[in-house]
Chains A and B, each alone.
Chain A
Amino acid sequence: AQSVTQLDSHVSVSEGTPVLLRCNYSSSYSPSLFWYVQHPNKGLQLLLKYTSAATLVKGINGFEAEFKKSETSFHLTKPSAHMSDAAEYFCVVSDPGDMRFGAGTRLTVKP
């Protein structure tokens, strides 16, 4: 069985400051890991994915995440937050037949 835990339900940052959204996972397999973003009243958009290649993964809109097997973590970071980054972020762990979502982290960006 696999599961994913997002350690913060809500993160608030000021515009221009770094963003860190934390995610820990458990999996019996070598997992694929994803981060998705959901803006209000919109569908989910893929930010980035890890599928056993490079451990530092770069995604869209300046986001990146580092896969750390020893820590079973896949934290999402961005050097400088923009107002448009305010949204709900979901960490997902997956094998070919199963997907599990984290509870989500709401990112608020203050001007």
Chain B
Amino acid sequence: GAVVSQHPSWVICKSGTSVKIECRSLDFQATTMFWYRQFPKQSLMLMATSNEGSKATYEQGVEKDKFLINHASLTLSTLTVTSAHPEDSSFYICSARDRGPPYFGPGTRLTVT
């Protein structure tokens, strides 16, 4: 199956700093990428949907100025958590699709101290 990578796999940052997470589709072109957040023992919650070359569509309750999403190419999307706070600590997962099923990255665990 198709491969989606995320970098970094885990990151620890101090409160008030910004963190960028990359999501790459390695062997296919992803016209659509999704960003999810997962709290412990809970389902994935969709944060935003991004299509290459256009602005991301954010889910209700997700602050677009805090979670900046850029989908600059067909193989790369980035999520930047700005001015991170401890409550932003979570597991962030991206998925990417072209016409087939979505494929998921391995996730990034963010800890804000």
Chain A residues in the interface with B (C-beta under 8 A): 32, 34, 36, 42-46, 49, 51, 90, 92, 94, 96-104
State the B residues within 8 Å of A (CB): 1, 32, 34, 36, 42-46, 49, 51, 93, 95, 99, 101-107
Specify which chain B residues have a CB less than 8 angstroms from the CB of A44 in the assembled complex.
Answer: 44, 93, 95, 104
Decide: A97 and B49 in contact? CB cutoff 8 A.
yes
A-B contact count (CB 8 A): 47
Distance in Å: Cβ of B108 to nearest Cβ of chain A = 10
Contact B104 A42 (CB under 8 A): no
Given the complex of chains A and B, what is the CA–CA distance between A45 and B93 in angstroms?
12
Contact B43 A101 (CB under 8 A): yes
Contact assessment for A99 and B95 in the assembled complex, using a CB-CB cutoff below 8 Å: yes
Whether A43 lies near B107 (C-beta < 8 A) is: yes
CB-defined contacts of B34 to chain A, threshold 8 Å: 99
- In whole angstroms, what is the CA distance A20 to B95 when docked? 26
B63 to chain A minimum Cβ distance, whole angstroms, is 20
A-B contact pairs, 12 of them (CB 8 A): A32-B101, A34-B102, A43-B106, A43-B107, A44-B95, A44-B104, A45-B104, A90-B43, A90-B44, A96-B32, A99-B102, A101-B44
User: For residue B101, which residues in chain A have a CB less than 8 angstroms away from its CB?
Assistant: 32, 34, 46, 49, 51, 94
Contacts of A42 in B (CB 8 A): 106
Tell me, in angstroms, the Cα distance from A34 to B97 when the chains sit together: 13
Q: Is the CB of A98 within 8 A of B107?
A: no
Q: Which of B43, B49, B99, B107 contacts A102 (CB 8 A)?
A: B43
C-alpha spacing A43/B4, complex, angstroms: 10
Contact indicator A43/B102 (Cβ below 8 Å) = no
B46 to chain A, nearest CB (A): 7
